[in-house]
Amino acid sequence: MAVVSTAHWHRLDDGRVQCDVCPRNCRLHEGQRGFCFVRQREHDEIVLTTYGRSSGFCIDPIEKKPLNHFLPGSPVLSFGTAGCNLGCRFCQNWDISKSREIDTLGSAAGPEELAAAAERLGCRSIAFTYNDPVIFMEYAMDVADACRARGIKAVAVSAGYMNPAPREEFYRHIDAANIDLKAFSEHFYEKITFARLASVLETLEYLRGTDVWFEVTTLLIPDRNDGDDELRRQCDWLLEHLGPDVPLHFSAFHPDFKMRDVPPTPPETLRRARRIALDAGLRFVYTGNVHDPQGQTTRCPGCGAAAVERDWYEMVSYRLTDDGHCAACGYAMPGVYEGPVGSWGRRRLPVSVA
Ligand code: SF4
Instruction: Please tell me the predicted confidence (pLDDT) of residue 30.
Output: 97
133 lines ligand 1 (CB under 6 A): no
Q: Where are the beta strands (DSSP E) in the chain?
A: 4-5, 9-11, 17-19, 27-28, 39-42, 45-48, 53-54, 57-61, 75-79, 107-108, 125-128, 153-158, 176-180, 213-220, 248-252, 285-288, 298-299, 306-311, 314-318, 349-351
- According to the 3-state scheme, what is the secondary structure of 165-230? HHHHHHHCCCCEEEEECCCCCHHHHHHHHCCCHHHHHHHHHHHHCCCCEEEEEEEECCCCCCCHHH
- Of 343, 318, 321, the C-alpha closest to 330 is 321
293-331, pLDDT tens digit by residue?
999 999 999 999 999 999 888 889 999 999 999 999 999
25 lines ligand 1 (CB under 6 A): yes
Q: Ligand 1 pocket check: which of 28, 39, 50, 194 to mutate, most ligand atoms within 8 Å of Cβ?
A: 39
22 lines ligand 1 (CB under 6 A): yes
Amino acid identity, position 71: L
Q: Which atom of ligand 1 is nearest to the CA of 40?
A: 3
Rounded Cα distance between 92 and 289, Å, is 12
259-269, pLDDT tens digit by residue?
788 889 999 99
pTM value is 0.95
Q: Which atom of ligand 1 is nearest to the CA of 134?
A: 1
Instruction: Please tell me the predicted confidence (pLDDT) of residue 33.
Output: 97
Q: Ligand 1 centre and the CA of 215: distance in Å?
A: 24
The helix, strand and coil proportions of the chain, stated in percent and rounded to the nearest 5, come to: 25, 25, 50
Rounded Cα distance between 147 and 121, Å, is 13
Statement to judge: residues 43 and 81 lie in one domain: no
Q: Ligand 1 centre and the CA of 167: distance in Å?
A: 13
85 lines ligand 1 (CB under 6 A): yes
Query: By alpha-carbon position, which residue is closest to atom 6 of ligand 1?
Result: 22
Statement to judge: residues 256 and 239 lie in one domain: yes
**Domain ranges, residue 304:** 53-351
Statement to judge: residues 27 and 171 lie in one domain: no
Q: Ligand 1 centre and the CA of 12: distance in Å?
A: 16
Statement to judge: residues 184 and 254 lie in one domain: yes
Instruction: Please tell me the predicted confidence (pLDDT) of residue 1.
Output: 57
Instruction: Please tell me the predicted confidence (pLDDT) of residue 272.
Output: 98
Q: Of the candidates 48, 63, 79, which is a domain's last residue?
A: 48
Rounded Cα distance between 144 and 341, Å, is 23
Statement to judge: residues 24 and 108 lie in one domain: no
What residue ranges of the chain have pLDDT lower than 50? none
Q: Ligand 1 centre and the CA of 117: distance in Å?
A: 30
126 lines ligand 1 (CB under 6 A): no
86 lines ligand 1 (CB under 6 A): no
DSSP, collapsed to helix, strand or coil, labels residue 17 as strand
Statement to judge: residues 19 and 129 lie in one domain: no
* Number of compact structural domains in the chain: 2
Q: Ligand 1 centre and the CA of 261: distance in Å?
A: 29
Statement to judge: residues 230 and 172 lie in one domain: yes
Query: By alpha-carbon position, which residue is closest to atom 2 of ligand 1?
Result: 36
Amino acid identity, position 328: A
DSSP, collapsed to helix, strand or coil, labels residue 40 as strand
84 lines ligand 1 (CB under 6 A): no
Amino acid identity, position 320: L
Q: Ligand 1 centre and the CA of 99: distance in Å?
A: 15
Statement to judge: residues 8 and 139 lie in one domain: no
Statement to judge: residues 213 and 235 lie in one domain: yes
Instruction: Please tell me the predicted confidence (pLDDT) of residue 88.
Output: 84
Bridging pattern class, strands 213-220 and 176-180: parallel
Rounded Cα distance between 327 and 330, Å, is 6
Instruction: Please tell me the predicted confidence (pLDDT) of residue 112.
Output: 95
